[in-house]
Amino acid sequence: MTPAACLLAGFLSLCLSPGSRGASVSSYGERKILSPQHFGGVLNFSTFLLDRSSGMLYLGAQDAILAVDTGNLSQKPLKIVWDVPEDKRKSCVSKGKTEGDCRNYIRLLEFLGDGRIYVCGTYAFDPQCAFITISNFSLEKGIDNTIHMETGKGKCPFEPRQHYTAVMAGGILYTAVSSNFLGTLFDISRVTGAVQERIRTEQSISWLSEPDFVSSAFIQEDEANNPLGDDDKIYFFFNEVAKENDFYTKVKVPRVARVCKSDVGGMKTLQRRWTTFLKTQLVCEDRASEQRFNVLTDVFTVQHVPGDPRSTHFYGIFTSQWEREELSAVCVYSLADISDAMNGPFKELKKTCENWINPEPVPTPRPGQCLNNALKADGFESSLKLPDKVLTFMRDHPLMENSVVSAPLLVRRGITYTKLAVTLASISSDNSKKAAVLLLGTDRGELHRVSVVGQNVTLLQETPLFKAQEPINSIILFKDAALVGSPSSLTHQVVEGCSHYPSCEVCARARSLGCIWNAKENACDGVGTEPADWNPHADPLTLCNGGKDNVGRCSPEEKSLQVLEGLRVLLPCVQISPHPCYWEHPQDRYTRQHHSDLEVLVSPSSLGKYVCFCEEGPPSTGKPCQRAMFFLTVAGPATADSRALVSNRQFVIWYLLPFLLGVFLSAFICILYRRCGNGLHSNTTSSVSEKERDLLPSSDTPQSPSSASFLSEAVPLTKRNGTINGLNGGSGIHAAHIYCNTTEQKLQESVTNLALQLDGRTERVGQDIHAGHREFEEGLSDVMDGLDEELAKLKVIRGAPLAQCEESSI
């Protein structure tokens, strides 16, 4: 057996260690989770389309389209396979793309209204579209029995991960997508309908500057209540690089753009281009902290008054380009405010001085406006009849001067929201007052419920749905539930009513929604209207404590922590509202806030008192509530609280021991082979042993896992699922987590010493190979004894319990 074969055998033994086994998706409670096994192994769901009349949910995935009956989730879904031929995949790879990307990722599913679904996929970086017949759920085929396809350029992105958006308006498809293979050209287009009416944006950075498309919405006017004869409109939301000012770096800004449904382009100027394309900036800014959130990630459109398009509001998820830690904010914009900005002054770049100023004069009729009764009365029945001076002005001035400004409803640190949906509920007997419930999906597979009643925002519930690293990428409201999807899973969540709030505390937080805890039934009941005695700034836990304030709610007991210099300490602070928490602590730059918790690197300057304050209402309502208090002091190595050492005993045992056993097994296989008579001389055996020894760890070239992997991979800094046991029972305070850097050095030295012992003993076994099998067994027994001694020396294993690594923001 060659040395390479011996090495292969050793690594195969390592692969059989318990730590390498895969994990399956877990279920939570009685919640039904459809996992990849239910979908026959189909993955990468990126498009979701619901037929509200039949309850069928269509999923666009990698090389497949699925149909799921939401009325019977346990039923096996229907499946259409639409993959890419082998020769086309090879051609895609030859152009520099990966094997994984050279597949057909379904990115567009839209109803055509004639019993068919229009479907488009990336098709190995050559977008193609086809038609699905809903009655038999199959792709339409041509005369030669092949799938009837047409080009998808301009309708579907080339790249699977590229952001884009599309919306169907009156049977016509509008898209915002990259239109070339390299992903450098971008268009907002009308891509179906009459060929002469298929128009797009001008190829100019003043129109689109490196955009990242997010969402789109079709706002249809009410025919019965439209006295001005306004045209229907399509809105597109995206981020782009700001060109208004010169900066040393690229500054992203969120935008909303509008085009009109009856726009067919100009006669000479702007031929086959939009004549109504206008855009303005969305501002989501917390003026109290002077923080602006400049990256838009998702938008949900809702009519506050059903059937009235003027009551439309857009709820958006924002983050910041400048923040290093996770951060999410939610802002809401009304259609009326956006319309006012579109009707305001234009922004202009003067070529002489490179400064933006308001242009004068604006030609008549006003550039960029949609057709209405007034324009038609003046003889402008179509955009083709607009004067060239109007179209020229429109071409050079797509950006508006005024921005649409909003203050965030909530700001969450340590959390990344990915998707948003909004439900509205009446909380007054005359339907004059309504509450909004925000359903927010995270990148960790959690669903958060937040109620918004006037200016009051309350975090109701955080529910884990999928495994930790599976982001939520779809939330579809259907009847009284939400269909929540991820790239590989799907679940059905009840979102309306009070019965799904499991405890008195959660039910009390939903009191503004008309929910009251029934102690006799041990359940949350709904009364449908806001209680007359509801105080939006009162502690919800008071209702679950006999009407008395919780002892110590805003005056927690001070916890004294003895720590070692060089440790990393995570100080917990329980946040019960979405309003921000902040810490008062010694001035030290080695601190970092994770959501409401604070991470501290212990140094002489970081010792002292740490106090966490949380706002439980608007800043004007009063003094923030003090939620946690700690005092850090230095302790000797022997007196430090070993309960706080973050050392995972199971991690070391399951990963260190299989590694050493794999080395022994490799040596044993090689020894047995040589004993079977390969005719190798002792000097050859010695040479092979030296090569094997080079593969083992040594003090010069350590091959064992680094100390960082034993700590940072075994125990994450924060985990949002679950709750933390208090330091003193049920006080509601998290147990502190302390991360030891000095322990890393001890553990690495122990592993290195152990490798040196193994090195020498392996060499001795090679030299005495002809002494017989009995001597080998004795040597192996000595090595195992040495292993027991080394493990016994590791104080980090012997003295530390399993670390508490979970936290909750409720």
Is 191 a member of any domain?
Answer: no
φ, ψ at 205 (rounded to 5°): -70, -20
Is 74 a member of any domain?
Answer: yes
Read off the tokens for 7.
């090495």
Residues 546 and 576 in one domain: no
Q: What is the pLDDT of residue 140?
A: 95
Question: What CA–CA distance (Å, rounded) separates 458 from 464?
Answer: 18
Q: What is the pLDDT of residue 427?
A: 79
Torsion of CA 438, 443, 445, 449, to 10 degrees: -10
- β-strand pairing of 456-464 with 446-453: antiparallel
Evaluate the omega torsion of the peptide bond into residue 3 and state whether it is cis, within 30 degrees of 0.
Answer: no
pLDDT at 808 over 90: no
Question: What CA–CA distance (Å, rounded) separates 271 from 48?
Answer: 35
∠ CA 38-44-46, nearest 5°, is 110
Question: What CA–CA distance (Å, rounded) separates 358 from 541?
Answer: 54
How sure is the predictor about 501, in pLDDT bands with cuts at 50, 70 and 90? confident
How sure is the predictor about 646, in pLDDT bands with cuts at 50, 70 and 90? very low
Q: What is the SS3 string spanning 689-706? A: HHHHHHHCCCCCCCCCCC
pLDDT at 38 over 70: yes
Q: Are 174 and 258 in contact (CB under 8 A)?
A: no
Q: What is the pLDDT of residue 394?
A: 93
Residues 143 and 91 in one domain: yes
Nearest Cα neighbor of 11 from 695, 758, 746, 644 is: 695
In one-letter notation, the amino acid at residue 597 is: D
The residue ranking higher by pLDDT, 270 or 793, is 270
pLDDT at 739 over 50: no
Q: Are 474 and 731 in contact (CB under 8 A)?
A: no
In one-letter notation, the amino acid at residue 449 is: R
Q: What is the pLDDT of residues 273-322, one digit of tens each?
A: 999 999 999 999 988 888 899 999 999 999 998 889 999 999 999 999 88
How sure is the predictor about 361, in pLDDT bands with cuts at 50, 70 and 90? confident
Q: Are 104 and 83 in contact (CB under 8 A)?
A: yes
Mean pLDDT is lowest, of 93-97, 131-135, 459-463, 549-553, for: 549-553
Question: What CA–CA distance (Å, rounded) separates 4 from 71?
Answer: 57
**Most confident segment among 21-25, 376-380, 547-551, 662-666:** 376-380
Q: What is the mean pLDDT of the chain?
A: 77
How sure is the predictor about 621, in pLDDT bands with cuts at 50, 70 and 90? low
pLDDT at 773 over 90: no
The residue ranking higher by pLDDT, 783 or 665, is 665
**Residue with the two structure tokens 């050492």:** 645
**Is 0.75 topped by the overall pTM?**
no
Residues 589 and 603 in one domain: yes
Question: What CA–CA distance (Å, rounded) separates 416 from 400?
Answer: 30
Question: What CA–CA distance (Å, rounded) separates 98 from 226?
Answer: 52
Question: What CA–CA distance (Å, rounded) separates 500 from 525?
Answer: 10
Q: What is the pLDDT of residue 754?
A: 44
Question: What CA–CA distance (Å, rounded) separates 665 from 674?
Answer: 14
Cβ contacts of 790 within 8 Å, gap of 6 or more:
750, 753, 754, 757
Q: What is the pLDDT of residue 566?
A: 85
In one-letter notation, the amino acid at residue 363 is: P
Residues 662 and 763 in one domain: yes
How sure is the predictor about 378, in pLDDT bands with cuts at 50, 70 and 90? very high
Q: What is the pLDDT of residue 681?
A: 43
Question: What CA–CA distance (Å, rounded) separates 424 from 437?
Answer: 6
> Total structural domains in the chain?
5
Cα(first)–Cα(last) distance of the chain, in Å? 60
pLDDT at 784 over 60: no
Q: Mapping DSSP to helix (H, G, I), strand (E, B) and coil, where does residue 621 land? A: helix
Q: What is the pLDDT of residue 397?
A: 92
Q: Judging by beta carbons within 10 Å of its beta carbon (0-12, 13-18, 19+), is residue 405 exposed, middle or buried?
A: middle
How sure is the predictor about 593, in pLDDT bands with cuts at 50, 70 and 90? confident
Is 287 a member of any domain?
Answer: yes
Q: What is the pLDDT of residue 445?
A: 92
Q: CB 20: neighbour CB atoms within 10 A?
A: 11
Residues 333 and 217 in one domain: yes
Question: What CA–CA distance (Å, rounded) separates 760 from 791?
Answer: 18
Residues 619 and 658 in one domain: no
Q: Are 766 and 684 in contact (CB under 8 A)?
A: no
Percent of the chain with pLDDT over 70: 68
**How many alpha carbons fall within 13 Å on the CB side of residue 162?**
27
Cβ contacts of 768 within 8 Å, gap of 6 or more:
775, 776, 779
Domain of residue 573 covers 559-640
Q: What is the pLDDT of residue 769?
A: 41
Percent of the chain with pLDDT over 90: 43
Question: What CA–CA distance (Å, rounded) separates 164 from 695?
Answer: 50
Residues 481 and 514 in one domain: yes
Question: What CA–CA distance (Å, rounded) separates 380 from 263?
Answer: 12
Is 158 a member of any domain?
Answer: yes
Cβ contacts of 141 within 8 Å, gap of 6 or more:
147, 148
Q: What is the pLDDT of residues 405-424, one digit of tens each?
A: 999 999 988 889 999 999 99
Is 31 a member of any domain?
Answer: no
- Average confidence (pLDDT) over 592-614: 84
Question: What CA–CA distance (Å, rounded) separates 490 from 36?
Answer: 9
Is 496 a member of any domain?
Answer: yes
Q: What is the SS3 string spanning 501-569? A: CCCHHHHHHHHHHCEEEECCCCEEEECCCCCCCCCCCCCHHHHHCCCCCCCCCCCCCCEEEEECCCCEE
Q: What is the pLDDT of residues 684-700, one digit of tens each?
A: 444 434 433 333 333 33
The residue ranking higher by pLDDT, 630 or 32, is 630
Distance (Å) of CA 354 to CA 125, 348, 351, 397, 744: 39, 10, 5, 15, 57
Cβ contacts of 383 within 8 Å, gap of 6 or more:
262, 263, 264, 265, 266, 275, 276, 371
Residues 230 and 376 in one domain: yes
Read off the tokens for 431.
């339907």
Nearest Cα neighbor of 734 from 746, 720, 745, 716 is: 720
Q: Are 457 and 330 in contact (CB under 8 A)?
A: no
Question: What CA–CA distance (Å, rounded) separates 79 from 59?
Answer: 10
Cβ contacts of 348 within 8 Å, gap of 6 or more:
356, 357, 358, 359, 396, 397
Distance (Å) of CA 399 to CA 87, 164, 356, 359: 46, 21, 11, 12
How sure is the predictor about 90, in pLDDT bands with cuts at 50, 70 and 90? very high
Residues 483 and 527 in one domain: yes
Is 535 a member of any domain?
Answer: yes
In one-letter notation, the amino acid at residue 8 is: L
- 516, 550, 584: which is the final residue of a domain? 550
DSSP code at position 770:
G
Q: What is the pLDDT of residue 348?
A: 74
Q: What is the pLDDT of residue 503?
A: 82
Q: CB 4: neighbour CB atoms within 10 A?
A: 8
Q: What are residue 523's DSSP bridge partners? A: 518
Residues 567 and 462 in one domain: no
Q: Are 424 and 408 in contact (CB under 8 A)?
A: no
Q: Are 461 and 42 in contact (CB under 8 A)?
A: no
Helix, strand, coil content of the chain in percent (nearest 5): 25, 30, 45
Q: What is the pLDDT of residue 263?
A: 96
Is 187 a member of any domain?
Answer: no
The full DSSP string for 213-270 is EEEEEEE---GGG-TT-PPPEEEEEEEEE--SS--SS--EEEEEEEEETT----SSTT
Q: What is the pLDDT of residue 535?
A: 62
Q: What is the pLDDT of residue 595?
A: 67
Q: What is the pLDDT of residues 184-220, one digit of tens each?
A: 999 999 999 999 999 999 999 999 999 999 999 999 9
The residue ranking higher by pLDDT, 585 or 644, is 585
- 622, 640, 658: which is the final residue of a domain? 640
**Most confident segment among 105-109, 139-143, 320-324, 803-807:** 105-109
Q: What is the pLDDT of residues 381-405, one digit of tens each?
A: 999 999 999 999 999 999 999 999 9
Residues 136 and 244 in one domain: no
The residue ranking higher by pLDDT, 48 or 581, is 48
Residues 269 and 292 in one domain: yes
Residue 306 sits in a domain whose CATH number is 2.130.10.10
The residue ranking higher by pLDDT, 257 or 26, is 257
Q: What is the pLDDT of residue 144?
A: 86
